[in-house]
Chain A
């Protein structure tokens, strides 16, 4: 596609529910990142994929969070047993290259998650 696409744009759920957020990166981009942004803050790193593998998941806050990228393109961020503190905007970004040669990152519009 022309840009990074994220769905849903808004998700309201109840505490304890399971949520999936999807990211469709720019075609051909091998590197994919998930970030989380709370109100008034800069984005915080969650996980980085190079191809199909998670090269760095050190930013995932706990084991309720998991992400996959099975075919090296679309990625899904999965959150189990959601808590109110998970409420934030989840941003996805992609880059044409990865690793230490990563250049410019292109971000999607984000998925706004609200946990009631």
Chain B
């Protein structure tokens, strides 16, 4: 069974600092990995999808890397803003399955 871990569980940084969020997974035979953002009381918004053949994906200030062999992904958010405050979730799909396995998320607070 795929286990997904996100460290740290919570993070507080001053505005302008770069954010580094970590995700690790136990089964490296993955099909893809997806990063989501969740605001309090809201659903999940997809940020980036990385296929297993890719090493990274970028969208604006967001960059996600994938190291499949070591079972790790990192989400980088450059020049953080208070509006980036949210919970960030990592989800992985293994090659023999079609459902996403989620981590518990990292809750980010960006202080103005």
Cβ of B36: which chain A residues have Cβ within 8 Å of it?
A: 107
In the complex, what distance in Å separates the CA atom of A91 from the CA atom of B91?
Answer: 14
B: contact size bracket? 20 to 34
Cβ of B49: which chain A residues have Cβ within 8 Å of it?
A: 103-104
Stretch at the interface among B13-21, B58-66, B77-85, B101-109: B101-109
Closest chain-A Cβ to B50's Cβ sits at a distance in Å of 11
Q: How many contacts A-B (CB < 8 Å)?
A: 63
Cβ of B4: which chain A residues have Cβ within 8 Å of it?
A: 42
Cβ of A112: which chain B residues have Cβ within 8 Å of it?
A: 41
With beta carbons under 8 angstroms apart, the residue of A41, A56, A100, A105 that contacts B100 is A105
In the complex, what distance in Å separates the CA atom of A33 from the CA atom of B43?
Answer: 14
Nearest residue, chain B, Cβ from A99: B98
Cβ of B101: which chain A residues have Cβ within 8 Å of it?
A: 45
Pairwise interchain contact A42-B103, C-beta atoms closer than 8 A: yes
In the complex, what distance in Å separates the CA atom of A41 from the CA atom of B43?
Answer: 13
Closest chain-A Cβ to B58's Cβ sits at a distance in Å of 16
Nearest residue, chain A, Cβ from B48: A104
Interface flags for A9-42 (1: CB within 8 Å of B; 0: not) read 0000000000000000000000101010000111
Interface flags for B69-112 (1: CB within 8 Å of A; 0: not) read 00000000000000000000101010110111111110000000
Cβ of A42: which chain B residues have Cβ within 8 Å of it?
A: 4, 89, 91, 102-105
Pairwise interchain contact B104-A105, C-beta atoms closer than 8 A: no
Closest chain-B Cβ to A22's Cβ sits at a distance in Å of 15
Nearest residue, chain A, Cβ from B9: A40
Pairwise interchain contact B46-A102, C-beta atoms closer than 8 A: no
Pairwise interchain contact B98-A102, C-beta atoms closer than 8 A: yes
Pairwise interchain contact A91-B46, C-beta atoms closer than 8 A: no
Cβ of B103: which chain A residues have Cβ within 8 Å of it?
A: 42
Cβ of B42: which chain A residues have Cβ within 8 Å of it?
A: 109-110
Q: Is B22 an interface residue (CB 8 A)?
A: no
A-B contacts, 9 of them at CB < 8 A, read: A31-B98, A33-B99, A35-B102, A42-B105, A100-B95, A104-B49, A107-B43, A109-B42, A110-B42
